[in-house]
A = this chain, B = another copy of it.
Amino acid sequence: MSRFLIDNLQYCNWSEKIFRQLRESEVDAIHVTVAYHQGFREMVSSLESWNRHFESYAKYILRGLTGDHVRQAKEQGKTAVFFGLQNPGPIEDDLGLVEICCQLGIRFMQLSYNNQSLLASGVHEPEDRGLTRFGREVVNEMNRVGLVVDMSHSSERSTIEAIHHSNRPIAITHANPYLWEPSVRNKSDSVLRELVQSGGMLGFSLYPNHLKNGTDCSLTGFCEMVAETVSRHGIENFGFGSDLCQDQPDEVVEWMRFGLWSKRPHKGAENAPAFPPMPNWFRDNRDWKNIRNGLQSVGFSTDEIDKIMGGNWLKFYDENFGPAP
């Protein structure tokens, strides 16, 4: 197997600089967020911006729709960009928009983002109500057309119900084990067990809020967590979803948290959210080599590292993008 490098979650303030860094770092594919709190038409505007990027920066990036686009990107020295939604707002209350989103290139959709959605509960919601009636219909439709269910920001019961209800594997694109760091966004061992048993994937996150000791988390500590997780659950179902938000202003994290559903704190107010600094061993895409070295230091073989750094996601793409057989 060729060596692939895939980061299955980024939300950067995209620019030629970042696309160039992706290529210089030989990142073969990224999954990028194209909508949080937007509706359908706003998501389409985001896709229009991406079409401009593909036209303007054709020497760095190409539009990813299938696993083969990752191989094509590698051959051409480019990065394949796959689209995902962190919230189901763009499908409105309209089941038909699931297939339309898939036809527009969306490959992952979270059923909820922190709050209750029309489909499922989010991790900040005090009560976890599980999958809704509409949620079950949407999962069926996502299964049919080949749009992957992502439960990164969804709560425990909703996640377990999604795994059980879905007849294809689901993903948790960016989170870490709760056993290692008890963040509300990290996932319990029983969720990981059910995820792996059903063929799903977890992308290890490098976002400080999901790390032990946040920004000060050590590379060795992070890689030992990867090793411990793999020793509990096997190696086949893990990859990365760094949640890299490079060059985003703090207004963007306010938007991610509050959208339009709440009055946001005024800019600069004491309680205004801010992006935490990334760990010094993972500033951005140029530091994937540090992760590779770190994994080696804690005892992973080259074959194992290749699986975790891209091979497992590529296999998942091959099997789960596209209509059900």
A2–B103 Cα distance when bound, in Å, is 31
- CB pair A96–B45 under 8 Å, yes or no, is yes
- CB pair A48–B97 under 8 Å, yes or no, is yes
Contacts of A44 in B (CB 8 A): 40, 97, 100
Other-chain residue from B48, B94, B97, B99 in contact with A100 (beta carbon distance below 8 A):
B48
By beta carbon, the residue of chain B nearest A144 is: B55
A47 at the B interface (CB under 8 A): yes
A140 to chain B, nearest CB (A): 12
A251–B100 Cα distance when bound, in Å, is 28
A41 at the B interface (CB under 8 A): yes
A221 at the B interface (CB under 8 A): no
Contacts of A48 in B (CB 8 A): 94, 96-97, 99-100
Name A82-123 residues within 8 Å CB distance of B. 94, 96-97, 99-100, 103-105
Name A35-82 residues within 8 Å CB distance of B. 40-41, 44-45, 47-49, 51-52
A94–B52 Cα distance when bound, in Å, is 13
Contacts of A41 in B (CB 8 A): 40-41
A91 to chain B, nearest CB (A): 11
By beta carbon, the residue of chain B nearest A52 is: B96
- CB pair B51–A100 under 8 Å, yes or no, is yes
- CB pair B104–A100 under 8 Å, yes or no, is yes
Assembly stoichiometry (copies)? 2
Scan A219-240; emit 1 where CB is below 8 A from any B CB, else 0.
Answer: 0000000000000000000000
A41–B100 Cα distance when bound, in Å, is 11
A104–B51 Cα distance when bound, in Å, is 13
Contacts of A94 in B (CB 8 A): 48
A308 to chain B, nearest CB (A): 33
A134 to chain B, nearest CB (A): 16
- CB pair B105–A51 under 8 Å, yes or no, is no
Contacts of A99 in B (CB 8 A): 48, 51
A47 to chain B, nearest CB (A): 6
Interface centre among A47, A96, A105 (most CB of B within 10 A): A96
Contacts of A40 in B (CB 8 A): 41, 44
A41–B92 Cα distance when bound, in Å, is 12
A104–B96 Cα distance when bound, in Å, is 13
A62 to chain B, nearest CB (A): 12
By beta carbon, the residue of chain B nearest A92 is: B41
A97–B40 Cα distance when bound, in Å, is 13
Q: A40-B41, A44-B40, A94-B48 are in contact. Are A105 and B104 (CB under 8 A)?
A: no
By beta carbon, the residue of chain B nearest A51 is: B99
- 8 nearest A-B residue pairs (beta carbon): A48-B96, A51-B99, A44-B100, A103-B104, A41-B41, A48-B100, A47-B100, A51-B96
23 A-B residue pairs with CB within 8 Å: A40-B41, A40-B44, A41-B41, A44-B97, A44-B100, A45-B96, A47-B100, A47-B103, A48-B94, A48-B96, A48-B97, A48-B99, A48-B100, A49-B96, A51-B96, A51-B99, A51-B100, A52-B96, A100-B104, A103-B103, A103-B104, A103-B105, A104-B104
